[in-house]
A = this chain, B = another copy of it.
Amino acid sequence: VRVSLAGVCRTDLELVKGYMGFAGVLGHEFVGEVVEGPGDWRGARVVGEINFACGACETCASGLARHCPRRRVMGIQGADGAFAERVAVPVANLHRVPDGVPDDAAVFTEPLAAAFEILEQLRVEAGARCLVLGDGKLGLLVAQVLHASGARVLAAGRHREKLAILERLGIETVLEAELRDERWPLVVEASGREEGFRRAVALTRPRGTLVLKSTLAESGRVALAPLVIDEITVVGSRCGPFPPALEALATGRVAVHPLVSLRLPLARAEEALRRAAEPGVLKVLVECG
């Protein structure tokens, strides 16, 4: 695939810090054009799922290819990523991008799919109250996906200007410091901070559900007793399904353009990673094509 645009993800910043011990080309969010491969794919504008499964094992056969124990993961584990002119992706992982979705929206398919994963794992009833912790890129997508699914969302974060993006979309927000002590039946931890888990547990009500979306390089000191005492269910949540993400981009149910902070050419990819780590910066796109 000749890469047009690639996005910097928080996971890239963790990988730089040593998460997964990955050495290779980073980048797992991209949109591009198929330039080599089967004839019916050539020329297609595509996005690609990042887990390269073996397709032959018991896990793959059970429908959990994203969890294939022999998988390689683009830009994360055993496979070079998309901060490059070209990236190699198995045909099985490709999805065509609908015509109405421009490149700078399509490049959000992968993180948006990760937000939709929550709806694959949990039944979220219409009107269900949920709290999304974290106003980073993933938090803003999760809040929108839950809101679009009919849940009553409160998004909590540390940055007024990031929360304002959600406010403009009709989603209620609050500064973390002003969050009341109230506990929630459903909490999504997307703050990407080590202390986020503790905070999230304290904000989940007894018998409630806490969805973990942050992957951190570090292990933290975590007290597990509160999970037992309050009988909290913690649901780890990673990559998700591309079709609902592409559909949400095509219908405009989720707004991604307000999340783009800046674009830099491939030659300045290192700068892109540095800038993405700055407070206040949301999505940094790398122009590869």
Tell me the complex Cα distance, A232–B222, Å.
17
Question: Chain B contacts of A59 at CB under 8 A?
Answer: 206
In contact, B238 and A229 (Cβ under 8 angstroms): yes
Q: Are A214 and B228 touching (Cβ within 8 A)?
A: yes
Please state if A231 and B67 are interface contacts (CB–CB under 8 Å): yes
**Cβ-defined partner of A222 (8 Å) among B67, B222, B233, B236:** B222
Q: Which residues of chain A from 218 to 240 have any CB-CB distance to chain B below 8 Å in the complex?
A: 218-238
Q: Considering residues A59, A213, A229, A236, which has the most beta carbons from chain B within 10 angstroms of its beta carbon? A: A236
Q: List chain B residues, Cβ under 8 A from A117.
A: 231
Interface residues of A in 188-217 (CB under 8 A from B): 197, 206-207, 212-217
Q: Is A64 an interface residue (CB 8 A)?
A: yes
A158–B230 Cα gap in the complex (Å)? 29
A153 and B170 CA atoms in complex are apart in Å by 49
Contact of A230 among B206, B222, B230, B236 (CB under 8 A): B236
Specify which chain B residues have a CB less than 8 angstroms from the CB of A218 in the assembled complex.
223
Contact A237 B229 (CB under 8 A): no
A207 to B239, CA, bound (A): 12
Residue of B whose beta carbon sits closest to that of A69: B206
**Contact B236–A232 (Cβ < 8 Å):** yes
Q: Contact check, B236 vs A215: say whether CB atoms are below 8 A apart.
A: no
> Complex Cα distance A216/B219, Å?
18
Whether a CB of chain B sits under 8 angstroms from the CB of A261 is no
